[in-house]
Amino acid sequence: MRQHVNPLSSNFNQIERIPSLSQMFSNSESNLHLDIGCASGEFLFDLALFNTSWNYLGIEIREKLVKNAKLKVIEREIKNLYFIFGNANNILNDVRNKFIIKNIKSISIYFPDPWFKKRHYKRRVIQQGFINMLSNSLQKGTLIFIKTDVKDLFDYMDCTISSNFHFKKIDKKDFNYSESFNPIKFKTDREKYVIVSQLDIYEKIYIKI
């Protein structure tokens, strides 16, 4: 069982300098997808290699995972994938990084750390303030995808996002994945484990209106 990293630790107050989109990607005009809490990035490698007409950006708080993922991007000469180390909340709240939020077409927050104890809820990635910041800065039409196997966490995330009236739920059956960041529905590492373990998966898609 891995030890969860406390995102509120002062270790994460210092944010690495984030390059411009044209420094991150060979074609900075392509649609951009952001995966928050991407772990080793395997999901994003699958996506970037399959769907070369999109750019993929992963943010992860465990530094070693990001270092390894960055090395792999260089070794494989992948031009539509970039990783950032740090606390996603701090990074995306920083005014210098507003260009990321303004340019993304979709965000996935898949199987985020649940932080079961009530006094630890403040460590969860999805917070009301974070959702308000997204609703103020995202372009209309931007999609947010959430998935988890923890029902309480799902209810918390769904309630937090839905209580912001700039986000509307999209019914999964009305959603056409073929045009999305994940046209053939690659699965994250956690999702593969959850499927093998026959646990339930709770998911929702929201659109900024």
Residues that bind ligand SAM (CB under 6 A): 5, 7, 36-39, 59-62, 87-89, 110-113, 125, 188-191
Considering the complex, state which of residue 190 and residue 204 has its C-beta at the smaller distance from ligand SAM. Answer: 190
Smallest gap from Cβ 194 to ligand SAM, in A, equals 9
Which CB atom, from 3 or from 26, has the smaller least distance to ligand SAM? Answer: 3
Closest contact distance (angstroms) between CB of 69 and ligand SAM is 11
Q: Which residue is nearest to ligand SAM (CB)?
A: 37
Q: Catalytic site residue 35?
A: no
Mapped to the 3 state alphabet, what secondary structure does the chain carry? CCCCCCCCCHHHCCCCCCCCHHHHCCCCCCEEEEEECCCCCHHHHHHHHHCCCEEEEEEECCHHHHHHHHHHHHHCCCCCEEEEECCHHHHHHCHHHHHHHHHEEEEEEECCCCCCCHHHHHHCCCCHHHHHHHHHHCCCCCEEEEEECCHHHHHHHHHHHHCCCCEEEECHHHCCHHHCCCCCCCCCHHHHHHHHCCCCCEEEEEEEC
Find the shortest distance in angstroms from Cβ 47 to ligand SAM.
12
Candidate list 35, 46, 94, 113, residue with the active-site label: 113
Write out the catalytic residue numbers. Answer: 113
